[in-house]
Amino acid sequence: MTDKGVPEGAAECQTEPSLGDRVPRIPLIITIAFIAVAFSLVWFAALHFLNTSFWGSDFVIANRWMIPVGVLFFSLLVGLCGKYLRAPNVINGGFEVVLKGGKLDYKTFPGTLLTSFFSLLSGAAVGPEAPLTFLVVEVAEWIGDKVKLAEETRLGFMMAAIAAAFNGLFGNPLFSAVFATELQEKKGSVRFLAWNLVAGAVGYMCFSLIGFPAFASSLPMTPVTVITLTYAILAIVLGIVGSLVAIFIGISFKGIGTIMDKVFKDRFMVRIMAAGVIIAVIVYFVPEVMFSGEAEIHTIAANPAAYGVLALLGFAILKVLLLALSSKAGYLGGPIFPTMFSAIMIALAINMLFPSVPAGLLVTCIVTAAVSFALGAPFTAILLTITFVTSTTQELGYIALAAATALIIGAAFKERMSRRGTRKNGSPESGS
C-alpha cells in the first residue's frame, strides 16, 4: 500500500495505458502512412498489369465478342469471392459507411483483395475508391490489433491510413482531411485531424515523388476568368441540374436495389451473374460506359462532337443505371468517378447545344453540385472539382454557388422524404 492507501501499482495503471489501450503517437501515424502508400502503389500496379494483360491485349481488342466473355468471367469470380471468401460488397452501404466508423473484419482480406481486382476488371460501373478504402482499412485494423490500440483511437488511426492512400490517388494533400471531416458523424478530436493531415501529407509527397499519375488536373478545360451576373445566375441553374443528376442516382439505387432484393433475396451468385449478363449486353453495344469512367472521360471530352448530344445524354443515363446495378449486385466499387462521368457528359451535351456557355463553367458547376448532393459533402466536392478540372479563383465563386444550391436542394429534398417516410410508417399525421 502507498501512504495514501492506494494499492501499489495502481498509480501506474492510472497513468500508463494498459494492454489494448495504447494511443498512437506521430511516429506510428507516419509508419501507417508509409505502409498505406506502399500497399496502394503495389495494388495499383497489380491492377494496371491485370487490366492491360486482359483488356489491353491485342486478342481482346481485335475480338469484340470478348467484351461479354470478360464481363461474365470476372463477374463469376466476384460472385465466388463473395460466397466462399466472405468478400465485402456495397449492397447495403458503400465506403462512406466505413469512413463514418463502420467496422470491417480484416480476416476477410484475401477475399477483399481478390474481389477488388475482379470488380474493377469486370467492366462494372464502379470506381477504385471503395476497394482501396476497404483494403487499407483492413490493413490498418490488423495493425491496430497487433499494436493493441485503444478502441476510441481506431477510427483516427484508420482515417490516417486512408488519408495517405487517397491524397496520392487524387493528387491533393488536403482531400482526405476535408472528406473525412464532412462524412464522419462521430466527432473526432483535433488530434485525429492532425493525424489525418500528417499521414495525408506523407501520402501526397510519396505519390508525387514517385510520379504516380494522380487525377489532379487531369481534365484540362478553358477556365472562366471573369465575374458576371449572368454566369452567377447560370451557376445556380447548373447547381439545380447537378442536383437532378444526384436525385436520379438516388432513385436508381433505391429502385434497382428494391427489385434485386425481391427477385434474388440472398442468392448472391444468381444476383451477381444476372447483373453480369445485363452489363455484358449493354457494354457490348456501348463500350464507352464500361468501368468507372475516369479514363473514358478524356476520350469523349477530347471530341464530344463525334458522339452528339443524344449519345452524350445516353452515356450519362446508362452510367448511372450501371452504377446502381453494379453496386446493388455485389461488385466492390465506389460512386465518385461514375457520378463525375455522368455529370461531365451532361455538361458536354449542354455545351454542344449552347456553345457560347464556357465548357469549363458547365463541367465544374454540374460536377460539384452532383457530388455535393450525392455525398452530402460540399467542401469535398469543391476540392475534388478544382483538383480534377483546371479552375481559376473567379470560377471558384461559381463553383461555390453551385455547391450551395445543391446543398439547399438536398436539405429540402431529404426533409421532404423524411416527412413522407414518417407518414408512411404510421405517424399521427397519417391518422394511425
Model pLDDT for residues 155-173, shown as the tens digit of each residue: 889 889 998 988 888 888 8
Q: Find out whether 79 and 268 touch, Cβ atoms under 8 Å.
A: yes
Q: Quick one: 206 and 233 in the same domain?
A: no
Interval 49-86: pLDDT, tens:
999 999 999 999 999 999 999 999 999 999 999 999 99
Q: Which residue has the higher pLDDT, 377 or 425?
A: 377
For the four alpha carbons of 28, 30, 32 and 35, in that order, the dihedral sign comes to negative
Q: Quick one: 265 and 345 in the same domain?
A: yes
**Cα separation, 430 vs 191, whole angstroms:** 47
Q: Quick one: 183 and 240 in the same domain?
A: no
Whether residue 191 lies inside any domain: the answer is yes
Give me the CATH number covering residue 335.
Answer: 1.10.3080.10
Q: Quick one: 189 and 50 in the same domain?
A: yes
Q: What is the pLDDT of residue 97?
A: 60
Average pLDDT over residues 357-373: 94
Q: What is the pLDDT of residue 87?
A: 92
Q: What is the pLDDT of residue 430?
A: 39
Q: Find out whether 36 and 199 touch, Cβ atoms under 8 Å.
A: yes
Q: What is the pLDDT of residue 107?
A: 87
Whether residue 17 lies inside any domain: the answer is no
Q: Quick one: 251 and 333 in the same domain?
A: yes
Q: Which residue has the higher pLDDT, 195 or 392?
A: 195
Whether residue 12 lies inside any domain: the answer is no
Q: Quick one: 46 and 155 in the same domain?
A: yes
3-state SS record for the chain: CCCCCCCCCHHHHHHCCCCCCECCCHHHHHHHHHHHHHHHHHHHHHHHHHHHHHCCCHHHHHCCCHHHHHHHHHHHHHHHHHHHCCCCCCCCCCHHHHHCCCCCCHHHHHHHHHHHHHHHHCCCCCECHHHHHHHHHHHHHHHHHHCCECHHHHHHHHHHHHHHHHHHHHCCCCHHHHHHHHHCCCCCCHHHHHHHHHHHHHHHHHHHHHCCCCCCCCECCCCCCCCCHHHHHHHHHHHHHHHHHHHHHHHHHHHHHHHHHHHHCCCHHHHHHHHHHHHHHHHHHCHHHCCCCHHHHHHHHHCHHHCCHHHHHHHHHHHHHHHHHHHHHCCCCECHHHHHHHHHHHHHHHHHHCCCCCHHHHHHHHHHHHHHHHHCCHHHHHHHHHHHECCCHHHHHHHHHHHHHHHHHHHHHHHHHHHHHHHHCCCHHHCC
Pick the range with the lowest mean pLDDT from 2-11, 127-136, 199-208, 342-351: 2-11
Q: What is the pLDDT of residue 100?
A: 58
Q: Band of the pLDDT at 340, cuts 50, 70, 90? A: very high
Q: Please provide residue 187's backbone torsions phi and psi, each rounded to the nearest 5 degrees.
A: -80, 125
Q: Band of the pLDDT at 103, cuts 50, 70, 90? A: low
Q: What is the pLDDT of residue 426?
A: 57
Q: Which residue has the higher pLDDT, 213 or 371?
A: 371
Q: Is the pLDDT of residue 88 over 60?
A: yes
Q: What is the pLDDT of residue 425?
A: 62
Q: Quick one: 301 and 185 in the same domain?
A: no
Average pLDDT over residues 23-46: 93
pTM: 0.88
**Cα separation, 208 vs 385, whole angstroms:** 19
Q: Quick one: 63 and 138 in the same domain?
A: yes
Q: Quick one: 313 and 269 in the same domain?
A: yes
Number of domains in the chain: 2
Mean per-residue pLDDT of the chain? 86
- Of the three residues 148, 182, 210, the one that is the final residue of a domain is 210
Q: What is the pLDDT of residue 198?
A: 93
Whether residue 45 lies inside any domain: the answer is yes
Q: What is the pLDDT of residue 20?
A: 59
Q: Quick one: 237 and 181 in the same domain?
A: no
Residues spanned by the domain of 361: 229-418
Q: What is the pLDDT of residue 8?
A: 44
Whether residue 432 lies inside any domain: the answer is no
Neighbours of 50 (CB within 10 A): 16
Task: Report the percent of the chain where pLDDT is more than 70.
Answer: 87
Q: Is the pLDDT of residue 99 over 90?
A: no
**Cα separation, 348 vs 360, whole angstroms:** 9
Q: Band of the pLDDT at 9, cuts 50, 70, 90? A: very low
Q: Is the pLDDT of residue 338 over 70?
A: yes
Q: Quick one: 354 and 413 in the same domain?
A: yes
Pick the range with the lowest mean pLDDT from 34-48, 91-105, 122-136: 91-105
Interval 301-331: pLDDT, tens:
989 999 999 999 999 999 999 999 999 999 9
Whether residue 262 lies inside any domain: the answer is yes
Whether residue 339 lies inside any domain: the answer is yes
Give Cα 308 to chain centroid, integer Å: 29
Q: Quick one: 198 and 341 in the same domain?
A: no
Q: What is the pLDDT of residue 170?
A: 82
Whether residue 6 lies inside any domain: the answer is no
